[in-house]
Structure 1
Amino acid sequence: MTLEQRRAWIGLVVAVIGYSVYLVVVLARADGLPLTEVAYAAPLLWTIGAGIVTAIVAEILFAIVNPGASLVRDDRDREIGRLGDHVGQPFMVVGAVAAMLMAMADWAPFWIANVIYLGFVLSAVVGGIAKVVVYRAGVPEW
């Protein structure tokens, strides 16, 4: 497994677990309250920060466990990375546009922050899945 393939897996797993933890925490805090009244900012920031730290620690641990893994990044890796970014990026754009429209319509900050976070997570997950699939199946010929 190359460095970039390992990063794709780590990013995918961390994004799914991190967002799942965030949802569980926020929904548990709701406990019958409307979601707009739930204290969401701290869990959102903590799960994002923990996700970043977890990804870094996971990369370090995998490098320690398998020091002989390829660290070379070739054209195939760059092409797969670009493809994954192109597949995932529209979700960030949709999330940002939705957040902008929500702000213009005076929606609660809870919904605006969460639609942006969901856009980032969907971008990471869909882009990560695309990268993992292409690493397994090969780069498509256009």
Structure 2
Amino acid sequence: MSNLEKRAWIYAVVALVVPVAYAVALLVRAPAGGIAASHYAGPMVAAVVGAIVLNIVAGIVAAMWGPRKAEPRDERDRAIDRLGEYVAFYVFSIAAIVPLVLAMREAPYFWIANSLYLGFSLAALVSSVVKIVAYRRGF
């Protein structure tokens, strides 16, 4: 498994685990007035920063266990990365319609922010899955 494929796996796991942990944290801390009345900004910032830190740390650990010599990126790696990023762009572009509609309907900020966060998380997960499939099945 190449380092770039390992990075895609790490990104996929983090893109799945961190939003789930964020959702559980919100549900556990939900006030009696409903989840939309909760203080979500702190946990959301913690989830975003935590995802960044986890990706960096896991990438360093994976690189330490990998081959000592860095593998050069070839045309296939660039094409797979490009495909994953294209798919992520379209997934997020479609997912961004939800917070846009919520804003137009003057929904509470909680729902707008969380639908936007879900769109980012979904785009990251789909991008990683596309890259993993391309590495495994060939591109």
TM-score exceeds 0.5: yes
Shorter chain as denominator, the TM-score bin is over 0.9
1:138 aligns with 2:109: no
CA distance in 2, matches of 1:99, 1:14: 23
Paired residues in the alignment total: 139
> Which residue in 2 is equivalent to 1:55?
55
- 1:25 has 2:25 as partner: yes
- Tell me what 2:95 maps to: 95
Q: For residue 91 of structure 1, report the CA deviation from its aligned partner.
A: 2.2
CA offsets 1:54-77 (integer angstroms, 9 cap, x no match): 100111111112243643111101
TM-score (norm 1): 0.91
Q: Which moved more, 1:70-79 or 1:54-63?
A: 70-79
Rounded Cα–Cα distance in structure 2 between residues aligned with 1:122 and 1:135: 20
Q: Distance in 1 between matches of 2:14 and 2:71?
A: 21
Percent pairwise identity: 39
Match in the other structure for 2:45: 45
CA distance in 1, matches of 2:69, 2:35: 45
Q: Report the Cα distance in structure 2 between the residues aligned to 1:109 and 1:8, rounded to whole angstroms.
A: 32
For residues 50-129 of structure 1, what are the structure 2 equivalents within 5 Å? 50-68=50-68, 70-129=70-129
Q: CA RMSD in A?
A: 1.4
Q: Which runs of 5+ in 2 are unaligned?
A: none
Unaligned runs of 5+ in 1: none
The amino acid of 1:104's aligned partner reads M
Structure 1 residue matching 2:29: 3-state secondary structure: helix
- Give the partner amino acid of 1:84: G
In structure 2, distance between residues paired with 1:132 and 1:70: 20
Give, in angstroms, the shift of residue 50 of structure 1.
Answer: 0.6
What's the secondary structure of 1:30's corresponding residue?
coil
Structure 1: which amino acid aligns with 2:130? A
Q: What's the TM-score once normalised by structure 2's chain length? A: 0.93
Aligned equivalents of 2:2, 2:110: Cα separation in 1: 39
